[in-house]
């Protein structure tokens, strides 16, 4: 058998080929049933129109984002049969009563293990009422707690992140928790894997969660079985199965590493070589992360255990993993730190609200880096209003995109934002994957939440909110460096675009919430 034939066989037997094929076959079956009983088509069509109208009323009165509603109303009312079927399969995001009860139990368990430190919150209230109000929202709806006794280290690229992570992993004594959207075999992951195996031999409890869709082309099928045999307790989030269902949209987009509850990492960086530019895909890959040492790290430990319990159906005793208080509170304080998480099933857009609060409280500047700029009316209003009241709003997007269609949608927002005084920059060296806000030298957030509908409404996400931390200066300095490596997009350049190019972008923009 030739190499070419082997590659072809491998391709057509891979999940990335078989699962979409089976899903397409299910759609064909639905179409076949409709055509087979075409003599009843008029009755079926009228019924579909009535159901589509009922569904439209249901969507309008739902809690989802208005842009998401409009994007679904177009196909449902324009194509009553197929639009309705597509929405029932992919648009609804309902949980069973069993799942709701399980999430509710995990929520209260999380609160019990992350009780807010009232003294720290009260101290913040007297120092800055605006920061206090932002912190109160995060602590109430994430849930989390505002932390002092935390050292923060900004990690300005994937290489620094990798080096710090390897060093921290080698120091593990009790446990290592890893949760990543993408893991890919190569230099970065293979080196981490060697450390994990060494730690297992020392009796360290090593656990891993990865997203099935995120790793569908980067890891072999059933890779978790191989890792479990090595002693790495591994589970897969939301397995990609050949069944038409809305849950397919919900992914674990978080990037978390927790070592003994004392040190943790988060940010945009996955465990794959392109994130540290060992593999070049879209020019230079600009990414970042943050390392927390001290009190705030335990919050990420609770996040991980919540997800572990949800996937496995177990009920861990979180207290068994909480680090000793005498170790936590010896860490010097450097501002106020709040780790946060966002859950797509609780109807609370935590990630977006944190961003909106930062924009609305800005007085001098807001600097944003994001790989995608596909935003709803609330975000557009906040950004444009800030610029109109004199705030220096700058947004950095990729110069070399990873997804061309999504990048076209990103560009469709430029015109309106630039008109209001916002400055848009494209990173000339390559792809920006950072998800960073820095505001007025006082606030910053680094995490996994992109400025697109999927991150803001459909994925599990996380991040770190910071106030009055010395790390904020390092984040701002890095953003300023990136601005110098970027080109500003001018209004006249947009005006030169052809009518067809603009039309294409506007059509894509209408369906942006579904991308």
233-237 vs 205-211, strand pairing mode: parallel
Q: Give the CA diameter of the chain.
A: 77
| Percentage of residues in the chain having pLDDT higher than 70 | 77
DSSP calls for 283-303 = BEEE--EEEEEETTHHHHHHH
What is the rounded distance in angstroms from the CA atom of residue 306 to the CA atom of residue 106? 6
Q: Which of 436, 405, 432, 416 minimizes the C-alpha distance to 515? A: 405
Q: pLDDT band at residue 514, thresholds of 50, 70 and 90?
A: low
Q: What sign has the CA pseudo-torsion 322, 326, 327, 332? A: positive
Instruction: State mean pLDDT over 214-230.
Output: 93
Tell me how far apart the alpha carbons of residues 122 and 101 are, in angstroms, rounded to a whole number.
33
Q: What is the mean pLDDT of residues 309-332?
A: 86
Residues 6+ apart with CB under 8 A from 17: 11
pLDDT of residue 27: 60
pTM, two decimals, is: 0.86
Q: Is the pLDDT of residue 49 over 60?
A: yes
Token couple for 125: 């209230």
Mean pLDDT of the region 402-430: 92
Closest of 118, 138, 51 to residue 353, by C-alpha: 138
Helix, strand, coil fractions of the chain, as percent rounded to 5: 50, 20, 30
Question: Side by side, which strands form the sheet with 233-237?
Answer: 150-155, 289-294, 263-267, 256-259, 175-180, 205-211, 233-237
β 365-369/436-439 pair status: antiparallel
* C-alpha–C-alpha distance, residues 463 and 276, integer Å: 20
- 288: pLDDT strictly greater than 60: yes
DSSP string, 133-174: HHHHHHHHHTT---B-SEEEEEE-SHHHHHHHHHHHHHT-SS
Q: Give the CA distances from residue 330 to residues 137, 317, 488, in Å, rounded to whole numbers and listed in that order.
A: 28, 25, 45
DSSP 260: T
Structure tokens at 229: 């045999």
| Average pLDDT score, the chain | 85
Q: Which two tokens stand for residue 480?
A: 């300023």
**Matching residue, tokens 């009922």:** 54
Buried b (16+ CB within 10 A) or exposed e, 327-351: ebeebebbbbbbbbbbbbeeebbbb
Q: Which domains does the chain have, with CATH numbers?
A: 3-91 (no CATH), 97-332 (3.30.870.10), 350-514 (3.30.870.10)
Nearest CA-CA partner of 59 in 48, 49, 70:
70
Q: Work out the pLDDT band at 130, boundaries 50, 70, 90.
A: very high
Question: What are the pLDDT digits (tens) for 169-189?
Answer: 999 999 999 999 999 999 999
Taking 70 as the threshold, does the pLDDT of residue 93 lie above it? no
Section 156-180 average pLDDT: 98
pLDDT digits (tens, 9 = 90+) for 205-220: 999 999 998 998 899 9
Check residue 12 and give its pLDDT.
Answer: 46
């Amino acid at each position: 058998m030739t190499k070419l034939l082997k590659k072809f066989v491998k391709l057509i037997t891979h999940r990335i080929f078989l699962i979409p094929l089976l899903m397409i076959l299910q759609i064909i079956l639905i179409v076949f049933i409709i055509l087979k009983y075409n003599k009843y088509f008029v009755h079926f069509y009228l019924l579909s129109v009535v159901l589509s109208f009922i569904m439209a009323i249901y969507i309008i009165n739902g809690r989802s984002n208005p842009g998401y509603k409009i994007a679904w109303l177009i196909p449902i009312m324009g194509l009553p049969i197929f639009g309705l079927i597509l929405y029932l399969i992919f648009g609804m995001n309902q949980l069973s009563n069993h799942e709701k009860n399980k999430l509710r139990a995990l929520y209260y368990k999380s609160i019990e293990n992350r009780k807010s430190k009232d003294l720290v919150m009260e101290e913040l209230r007297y120092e800055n009422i605006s920061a206090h109000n932002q912190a109160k929202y995060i602590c109430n709806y994430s849930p989390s707690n505002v932390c002092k006794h935390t050292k923060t280290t900004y990690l300005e690229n994937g290489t620094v992140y990798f080096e710090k992570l390897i060093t921290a992993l080698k120091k593990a004594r009790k446990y290592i928790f890893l949760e990543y959207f993408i893991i890919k075999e190569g230099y970065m992951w293979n080196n981490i894997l060697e450390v994990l195996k060494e730690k297992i031999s020392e009796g360290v409890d090593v656990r891993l969660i990865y997203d099935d869709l995120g790793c569908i082309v980067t890891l072999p099928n059933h890779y978790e079985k191989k890792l479990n045999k090595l002693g790495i307790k591994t589970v897969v989030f939301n397995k990609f199965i050949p069944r038409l269902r809305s849950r397919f949209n919900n992914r674990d987009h978080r990037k978390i590493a927790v070592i003994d509850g004392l040190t943790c990492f988060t940010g945009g960086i996955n465990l794959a070589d392109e994130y540290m530019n060992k593999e070049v895909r879209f020019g230079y890959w600009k990414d970042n992360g943050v390392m927390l040492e001290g009190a705030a790290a335990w919050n990420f430990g609770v996040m991980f255990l919540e997800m572990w319990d949800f996937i496995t159906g177990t009920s861990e005793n979180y207290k068994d993993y909480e680090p000793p208080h005498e170790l936590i509170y010896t860490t010097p304080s450097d501002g106020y730190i709040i780790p946060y998480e966002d859950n797509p099933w609780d109807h609370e857009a935590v990630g977006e609200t944190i961003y909106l609060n930062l924009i609305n409280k800005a007085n001098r500047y807001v600097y944003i880096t994001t790989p995608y700029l596909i935003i709803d009316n609330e975000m557009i209003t906040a950004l444009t209003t800030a610029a109109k009241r004199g705030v220096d709003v700058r947004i950095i997007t990729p110069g070399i995109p990873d997804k061309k269609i999504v990048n076209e949608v990103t560009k469709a927002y430029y015109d309106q934002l630039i008109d209001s005084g916002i400055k848009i920059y494209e990173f000339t060296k390559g792809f920006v994957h950072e998800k960073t806000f820095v505001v007025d030298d006082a606030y910053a957030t680094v995490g996994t939440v992109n400025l697109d509908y999927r991150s803001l409404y459909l994925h599990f996400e996380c991040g770190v909110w910071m106030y009055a931390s010395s790390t904020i200066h390092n984040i701002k300095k890095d953003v300023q460096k990136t601005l110098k490596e970027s080109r500003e997009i001018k209004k006249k350049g947009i005006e030169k675009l052809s009518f067809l190019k603009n039309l294409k972008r506007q059509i894509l923009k209408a369906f942006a919430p579904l991308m």
